[in-house]
Chain A
Amino acid sequence: MPSPREVMDALPAEDARLLPTPAAVRAPRPGLLPLLLLGPAVAWTFLFFLLPLAVMVWQSVQHDGLSLFHYRKLLSTPLYLSAIMTTFQISLGVTAGSLLLGYPVAYVIATAGPRVRGLVLLLVVIPYWLDYIVRSYSWMVLLGRMGLVNRSLIEIGLISEPLSLLYSIWSVNIGMIQILLPLMVLTLYGAMHGIDQRLVQAAAIHGAGPWQAFRRVFFPLSLPGVYGASLLTFVVSMGFYITPALLGGRKQTMISQLIYTLASDMLDWPLASAASVLLLILSLAIVLVYNRLFSIDRLWGGATS
Chain B
Amino acid sequence: MVPPAEPELPKGAALRLERLTKRFGSVVAVREVCLDIPAGCFVTLLGPSGSGKTTTLNLIAGFVLPDAGEIYVDRQAISGVPPHRRNVGMVFQNYALFPHMTVFENVAFPLRMRTALAGAALGRRVEETLDLVQLGGLGARYPRQLSGGQQQRVAMARALVSDPRLLLMDEPLGALDKKLRERLQLEIKAIHRRVGATIVYVTHDQSEALTLSDLVVVMDRGRVVQIGSPRSLYEAPDTGFVADFLGGANLMPAQVTGAAGEDVIVALPGGATIPVRPSHQPIGALGPVQLMIRPEDIEVSRSHQNDPERVALAGEVVEAAYLGDAIKLVVAVSGGLLTAKVTGRRGAEFAPGDAVTVGWPRSATRILPATSTEAAD
Q: Is B86 an interface residue (CB 8 A)?
A: yes
Interface residues of B in 86-130 (CB under 8 A from A): 86-90, 92, 94, 96-100, 109-110, 113-114
Q: Which residues of chain B have C-beta atoms less than 8 A from A205's C-beta?
A: 61-63, 83-84, 86, 88-90, 168
Measured in the bound complex, the distance between the Cα atoms of B112 and A212 in whole Å is 10
| Contact status B92-A198, CB under 8 Å | yes
Q: Is B294 an interface residue (CB 8 A)?
A: no
| Contact status B61-A199, CB under 8 Å | no
| Contact status B84-A207, CB under 8 Å | yes
A198-B96, A303-B100 known; A206 and B144 CB under 8 Å? no
Q: Is B247 an interface residue (CB 8 A)?
A: no
| Contact status B99-A221, CB under 8 Å | yes
Over the window 36-60 of chain B, the binary record of Cβ atoms lying under 8 Å from chain A Cβ atoms (1 yes, 0 no) is 0000000000000000000000000
Q: Is B137 an interface residue (CB 8 A)?
A: no
Q: Which residues of chain B have C-beta atoms less than 8 A from A213's C-beta?
A: 84
For chain B, the bracket of interface size reads 20 to 34
Chain A nearest Cβ from B171, distance in angstroms: 13
Interface residues of A in 203-222 (CB under 8 A from B): 203-209, 212-213, 216-217, 220-221
Q: Is A48 an interface residue (CB 8 A)?
A: no
Select one of A202, A301, A302 contacting B92, CB under 8 A: A202
Q: Is A268 an interface residue (CB 8 A)?
A: no
Q: Which residues of chain A have C-beta atoms less than 8 A from B114's C-beta?
A: 206-207
For chain A, the bracket of interface size reads 20 to 34
Over the window 315-327 of chain B, the binary record of Cβ atoms lying under 8 Å from chain A Cβ atoms (1 yes, 0 no) is 0000000000000
| Contact status B84-A209, CB under 8 Å | yes
Q: Which residues of chain A have C-beta atoms less than 8 A from B110's C-beta?
A: 206-207
Chain A nearest Cβ from B321, distance in angstroms: 28
Interface residues of A in 179-230 (CB under 8 A from B): 196, 198-199, 201-209, 212-213, 216-217, 220-221
| Contact status A203-B89, CB under 8 Å | no
Interface of B is mostly: mixed
Measured in the bound complex, the distance between the Cα atoms of B82 and A203 in whole Å is 12
| Contact status A201-B83, CB under 8 Å | yes
Q: Which residues of chain B have C-beta atoms less than 8 A from A199's C-beta?
A: 96, 98-99
Q: Which residues of chain B have C-beta atoms less than 8 A from A129's C-beta?
A: none
Interface of A is mostly: helix
| Contact status B84-A204, CB under 8 Å | yes
What residue in chain B is nearest A217 (Cβ atoms)? B98
Q: Is A300 an interface residue (CB 8 A)?
A: yes
Q: Which residues of chain A have C-beta atoms less than 8 A from B145's C-beta?
A: 301
Chain B nearest Cβ from A204, distance in angstroms: 4
Chain A nearest Cβ from B213, distance in angstroms: 22
| Contact status B144-A204, CB under 8 Å | no
What residue in chain A is nearest B63 (Cβ atoms)? A201
Measured in the bound complex, the distance between the Cα atoms of B87 and A206 in whole Å is 7
Select one of B92, B99, B162 contacting A207, CB under 8 A: B162
| Contact status A204-B83, CB under 8 Å | yes
| Contact status B109-A203, CB under 8 Å | yes
Measured in the bound complex, the distance between the Cα atoms of B159 and A202 in whole Å is 9
A201-B63, A204-B83, A205-B61 known; A221 and B113 CB under 8 Å? no
Measured in the bound complex, the distance between the Cα atoms of B88 and A217 in whole Å is 19
A207-B114, A209-B84, A212-B113 known; A202 and B96 CB under 8 Å? yes
Known: A202-B97, A300-B144, A301-B143. 17 other contacts (CB 8 A): A198-B92, A199-B96, A201-B63, A203-B113, A204-B62, A205-B63, A205-B83, A206-B84, A206-B90, A207-B87, A207-B110, A209-B82, A213-B84, A221-B99, A221-B100, A300-B99, A301-B142
Interface residues of A (CB under 8 A from B): 196, 198-199, 201-209, 212-213, 216-217, 220-221, 299-303
Give the 7 A-B CB pairs with smallest separation, nearest first.
A301-B144, A207-B113, A207-B114, A206-B110, A202-B96, A204-B83, A198-B96
Instruction: Report 7 cross-chain contacts, Cβ distance below 8 Å, ordered by A residue.
Output: A201-B61, A202-B90, A205-B88, A206-B109, A208-B84, A217-B98, A300-B99
